[in-house]
Amino acid sequence: MAKEKMVSQITDMELDFAQWYTDVCKKADLIAYSGVKGVFVYRPYGYALWENIQHILDGMFKESGHENVYMPLLIPESLLQKEKDHVEGFAPECAWVTMGGSEELEEKLCIRPTSETLFCDHFKDIVHSWRDLPVKYNQWCSVLRWEKTSRPFLRHREFLWQEGHTLHATAQEAIAETEGQLECYADFCENYLAMPVIKGVKTDKEKFSGAERTYTIECMMHDGKALQAGTSHYFGDGFARAYDIRFTDKNNQLQVPFETSWGLSTRLIGGIIMTHGDNSGLVLPPKVAPIQCVILPIAQHKPGVLDAAAQLRDRLKKAGFRVKMDDSDQSPGWKFAEYEMKGVPVRLEVGPKDLEQNQCVLVRRDNREKRVVPLDELETALAETLQAVHDGLYAKAKANLESHIFAASTLEEARDLQKRNGGFIKTMWCGSEECETKMKDEAGMSSRCIPFAQEHLGDTCAICGKKAEKMLYWGVAY
RNA sequence: CCGGGUGUAGCCCAGGGGUAGGGCGCUUGCCUUGGGAGCAAGAAGCCGCGCGUUCGAAUCGCGCCACUCGGACCA
């Protein structure tokens, strides 16, 4: 008899990647829909993942001298409008508060889509002397952008993020800050999330509204689409001039300071899902997994099993691992499937047969490899196994990235490569926005970045044939 | 925002102008435990929302909302 599917399952990603993604988000208990388009409920398991990300990043920011602050949710229209490029960029996706109680407001208030304007307005008041610089602030908050289409984690109207905002006496120092924070993001993605990144600079067309230069890290998903995982902006003194921020330097001269901002959002969770997930569900990088190891007692009604499992749990907790013991009365098979769906990096099985031999079994989520471990070596073995999962995930993601990079010398070639394989298409580029637009119109790709790691693929632009000195990555992005 | 699809129990879906259906899940009991076990009983629904047509609407019409797939726009 053909076994009917007993439980709701996850669509195979080869069959329908978008459906697979949505299934994982829901079945792994990360997120739930609310009654309003584009705003989501972060469920405990999904929020715990964000908290772990927050905790690590927050430590990195503080280590490099940044302080956390909290700015208001609302921006008066007049304040938002001071920087021309910025307001033009964000106006189409602003949501406004126009009523207070039953009264119409004198001036409407924008719900922050990002907080540059608020920080500038505040910086103007607190910075007067060279002694006040640098200012290195960060805030954890949510922002609102009235997106037309939305998807869990990848594109919310309201999303959680951090935004760093810093002010410096010199352009060099501000640029160093911008680049340093990009490195921080790249380090975090690669060493904590096991996501390899491509670092580079956005073209003028793609840069942040109001920025002089935008740096980015770009990741490659399983389906060949690109994901911008974090950005860091150098503003020059544009915002400072627009918002009238001045300081007196050591020579008693009035100067305009230089500014940066940088942000990373819950979108990254979407990136984790699409980088590491498989047809059994989520696969979480061990360093941010809410549960690093789930302990499953086998034949738990037999004497000694539950006690032994609880002892192992306590030992591992004491050793600093995030562990959970599941002694619910579900069958072992059910639990195996459940925790695979939730992406728990390591499963620990312990049953009567193990206890007789003073051992347990560790199973890796990424490749299902089993390892029998003597109980007195458990802490070391688990640490090794978690590290092995991290390394395994990174290697697999790196291979996926590398197998999704193709070189092209003409627009037609680029278009065909994208259509056939997806991925990043690298070409030489003359630097003109017209060529970017043409690539978008005819090949459906936007420029992802001008990578730091440049290669010389030729001397002419793949689109217009004119002289070209820069190599650009193109792709279809989330 | 433009075009297509969908909305019936927690999930997947059938039905259909006149008492609301199935499978899975859920609850309780028995049984079972190294890859989503079995038996029995039970609970659970403004049939997405509003307005219309009708003696009567979950069913027909219109509007809206949400989800989804393309496209345009954006972290």
- Kindly report, residue by residue over A251-260, the tens digit of the pLDDT: 999 999 999 9
The beta strand positions in A127-265, using DSSP E, are 135-144, 158-168, 198-201, 213-220, 226-236, 247-248, 254-255, 258-265
Query: CA A279, C1' B28: Å apart?
Result: 35
Mean pLDDT of A241-250: 97
* pLDDT for residue A7: 40
CATH number at residue A21: 3.30.930.10
Q: Residue A4 pLDDT more than 60?
A: no
Contact present, A339 and A402 (Cβ < 8 Å)? no
Task: Report if residue A5 sits inside a domain.
Answer: no
Q: What's the pLDDT tens digit per position in A175-194? A: 999 999 999 999 999 999 99
Which residues are CB-contacts of A413 (< 8 A; sequence separation ≥ 6)?
Answer: A462
Query: Nearest nucleotide by C1' from A337 CA?
Result: B36
- Residue A6 has a pLDDT of 34
A115 and A190: one domain?
Answer: yes
**pLDDT > 70 in chain A, percent:** 98
Dig out the tokens for A37 from the structure: 């388009």
Which protein residue's Cα is closest to nucleotide B32 at C1'?
Answer: A331
Mind listing the pLDDT tens digit for each residue in A288-327?
A: 999 999 999 999 999 999 999 999 999 999 999 999 999 9
Average pLDDT over every residue of A472-476? 96
Q: Which nucleotide is the nearest neighbour of A332, by CA and C1'?
A: B33
Whether A1 shows a pLDDT value over 70: the answer reads: no
CA A96 to C1' B51 (Å) is 30
Q: Can the peptide bond before residue A134 be classed as cis, meaning omega within 30 degrees of 0?
A: yes
Look at residue A102 in the predicted model and tell me its pLDDT: 84
Same domain, A322 and A469: no
Q: What is this model's ipTM?
A: 0.91
pLDDT confidence of residue A76: 94
Q: Is the pLDDT confidence value at A244 over 50?
A: yes
Q: Are strands A135-144 and A158-168 parallel, antiparallel or unpaired?
A: antiparallel
Q: Give the per-residue pLDDT at A253.
A: 97
What's the CATH number where A299 sits?
A: 3.40.50.800
CATH code where residue A457 lies: 3.30.110.30
Domain final residue, candidates A337, A368, A400: A400
Indicate if A44 and A142 belong to the same structural domain.
Answer: yes
- For the sheet containing A95-100, what is the strand order? A74-76, A103-111, A95-100
Q: Which of A384, A400, A416 is the last residue of a domain?
A: A400
Residues A194 and A212 grouped into a single domain: yes
| pLDDT beyond 50 at A8 | no
Model confidence pTM above 0.90: yes
The secondary structure element, H or E, covering residue A352 is: helix A352-356
- pLDDT at res. A30: 94
Assigned domain for A286 exists: no
What is the rounded distance in angstroms from the CA atom of residue A143 to the CA atom of residue A469?
A: 38
Shared domain check, A156 and A142 = yes
Within 8 A by CB and 6+ apart from A180, the residues are: A64
Any idea which nucleotide's C1' is nearest the CA of A16?
B69
**pLDDT classification of A10: cutoffs 50, 70, 90:** confident
Q: Which residue is nearest to nucleotide B69 (CA to C1')?
A: A18
Is the pLDDT confidence value at A9 over 90? Answer: no
CB-proximal positions of chain B, under 7 Å: 1-2, 10-12, 23-25, 31-38, 65-75
Domain count, chain A: 3
Length of chain A: 478
pLDDT tens track for A392-432: 999 999 999 999 999 999 999 999 999 999 999 999 999 99
Which tens digit of pLDDT belongs to each residue from A84-112?
Answer: 889 988 988 999 999 888 888 999 999 99
Range of the domain at A417: 405-475
Q: What is the pLDDT of residue A103?
A: 87
A338 and A374, same domain (yes or no): yes
Nucleotide nearest to A145 (CA to C1'): B74
Distance A148 CA to B54 C1' (A): 39
In a domain, residue A285? The reply is: no
Closest to A275 (Cα-Cα) out of A40, A30, A19, A21? A21
Question: Do A126 and A255 sit in the same domain of this protein?
Answer: yes
Average per-residue pLDDT for chain A: 94
Which of A22, A7, A16 has the alpha carbon at shortest distance from A281?
A22
A234 and A363 inside one domain: no
- Domain annotation covers residue A37: yes
pLDDT number for residue A339: 95
Q: How many CB atoms lie within 10 A of CB A155?
A: 16
Q: Does A228 share its domain with A266?
A: yes
The answer, yes or no, to whether residue A385 has pLDDT greater than 50, is: yes
A317 shares a domain with A232: no
Residue that has been written with the tokens 């920080």 in this structure: A119
A120 with A21, same domain: the answer is: yes
DSSP A165-227: EEEESSHHHHHHHHHHHHHHHHHHHHHHS----EEEE--TTTS-TT-SEEEEEEEE-TTS-EE
Residues A270 and A389 in one domain: no
Q: What is the mean pLDDT of residues A16-37?
A: 91
Give the CA-to-C1' distance from A37 to B57 in angstroms: 29
Tell me: pLDDT of A77 over 50.
yes
Q: Each residue of A140-164: pLDDT tens digit? A: 999 999 999 999 999 999 999 999 9
Q: How many angstroms separate the CA of A340 from the C1' of B37?
A: 19
- At A282, list the tokens: 């989520």
